[in-house]
A and B are shown apart, each in its own frame.
Chain A
Amino acid sequence: MSAFPFFKSRPLHVSMVIAWIFLSAIGGIYYYLPRYCKLPLFSNKLPRLHFWIFLVTGIAILCCYIAGKFGGRKYWEYPPILAVPIVISWLLFGFNYFKTVAKKAGEWPVYLWMWGTGILFFLFTFCESYLWLFPYFRNNIVRDITVQWKAYGALVGSWNMLVYGTAIFLMERIKGDESVARSKLSFAMYFLGLTNLLFGWAHHIYIVPAHSFIRYFAYFISMTELIILAKIIGNWKSSLTEAQKDFHLLPYKFIVASDFWIFANLTLALAISVPAINIFTHGTHITVAHAMGSMIGINTMILLASCIFLIEDIAKHEYTIGEKKAITGGFWILNFSLVIFFIALLFAGAEKGLLIIEDKLSFQEIMQHISPFLTLFTIAGFGIFTGALLVVTPSVKRISKYLRQ
């Protein structure tokens, strides 16, 4: 612990998570475009370059953390100079992507829009999150924090675009039904999602003394997500019967799980976007519950579905019965542990929020009060790790066998 203290391991953890999301989402897009969308990549060399830049930058970031050199801001906790290769790699990715999809005749399915939006807005918000380098932004804490969280809100939204686009693509493939990605409804949902990406980020900064319009506007925009929630509940019955039909398919299982987590997380997101609730939950573990629900429950489930789909496809072979059993077992352990993890964080956060506002106990006493929940949270964390290991091991074995051939 002392050799690798918390203030070093936290940034490492965050960067690893982001690397997982990016690598698997981007890898999927490079793989699916030529093979399933009849869109040969504009350049087959650029993805290689992209990969190497990513890898080398990743190693450099790792070295910075070990050496204790920080940028000191959430998400990008490495020295700012390392942002340069990241921007370059996304420019390459974006250039290749748009050159590739420009050749598409006829209407684009919604996931091509979503991937494109994700790439463009990532680039924009990533640059925006570095505006603090200019004293104009840095030397006013209200502006600094507001712009930082404006960027991060949209940043998370932009990688959600990449991931949700992948989910819709997979649904289309699994169901063999092209209308999924072309219906009016799916485009309406896409535009609603985009509106929230652009304007609905301010629940992170309700208590920062910026202009009150920023608060009210975000509150209003966030509530439009009630429409998405209503749609999910409306589809409940039909999606449940459909889910039963295809649940034996491995990638589909993970998509169904992500649907469950979208429901849980969206409900939570709506609640904490109401300022009257946010005032209790802000700065507590409820925010962490929300982040974990979306990172693990939604993004990771979808990307695991994508990885499994892709590996089955590359190896031209379904998983063996033994492998399927391991993955299914892992699937249940992962989801069950995540439920406990999520609930433990909600309780810890609720208690912390109430105790802080009550204002009778010191920080250490409050931490003591919530420590049973944090213990439960830690145990559930090990459960998540075990489940994920069971899911991932057969796939890693398969890929390494394939690469050796």
Chain B
Amino acid sequence: MSSITKKAIMATLFLSFIIYTSFVYTTGTANDAGENMITEQSKNGKLLFQKYNCVACHQLYGLGGYMGPDITNVISGKGKGPGYAKAFLKSGTQRMPDFHLSDNEIEELVAYLTYVDKTGVSPVKRFKINYNGTVAQN
């Protein structure tokens, strides 16, 4: 492979990468609920979610640790909801630590989970598989 060819391939890849990256940073991720449903309270909740490293055990959209369940939809889940989530955060369980959170922190964390819940579904349980290997959510 000549040195010119290598450089040309490199330049093409690099340019495409820049274009694709700008798409991902903007239109590609401009999800309506994701962009507009967030409140001041849930913004703080997000930072708390990171501060207490909830993702070491839990998943959002299937991403995170596996000690605890996926909590993307804990707020709208059957038989669950804000009160249910608060109970876990108040005192922990045998397997989940008690973080000694203040009432305000609990409110903010639940506000964050409420926001997350509005943006989508995880795990996806109802779907249709297409012939080309792609998936359509019902």
Q: Measuring CB to CB, which residues of chain A are less than 8 angstroms from any residue of chain B?
A: 5-7, 10-11, 70-74, 77, 107, 113, 135, 137-143, 145-147, 149-150, 184, 187-188, 191, 194-195, 198-199, 204-211, 213-217, 219, 274-279, 282-285, 288, 356-357, 359, 363
Contact = CB atoms under 8 A, between A and B. Distances in A.
Interface of B: 1, 3, 6, 9, 13, 16-17, 20-21, 23-25, 27-31, 33-35, 38, 43, 46, 49-57, 59-70, 97, 115-116, 119-125, 127, 129-130, 133-135
30 contacts: A6-B56, A7-B56, A10-B65, A11-B53, A11-B56, A73-B50, A74-B63, A113-B6, A135-B43, A137-B25, A138-B43, A141-B34, A141-B38, A141-B115, A142-B29, A184-B1, A188-B1, A191-B9, A195-B13, A199-B17, A204-B63, A207-B121, A207-B122, A210-B24, A210-B28, A211-B27, A211-B29, A219-B133, A276-B134, A283-B123
B43 A357 contact: no
The 3 A-B pairs of least Cβ separation, nearest first, read A72-B50, A283-B62, A142-B34
Contact of A285 (B66, B115, B135): B66
A147 B25 contact: yes
A205 B61 contact: yes
Nearest to B66: A285
Given A72-B51, A216-B134, A356-B125, A145 B60 contact: yes
B74 to A, nearest CB: 11
A115 B123 CA distance: 38
B67 A209 contact: no
A283 B29 contact: no
B123 A357 contact: yes
B31 A282 contact: no
A141 B49 contact: no
Contacts of A282: 62, 123
Of B28, B35, B59, B68, chain A has the most CB atoms within 10 Å of the CB of B28
Contact of A187 (B1, B30, B49, B63): B1
A141 B116 contact: yes
A141 B119 contact: yes
A6 B135 contact: no
B35 A208 contact: no
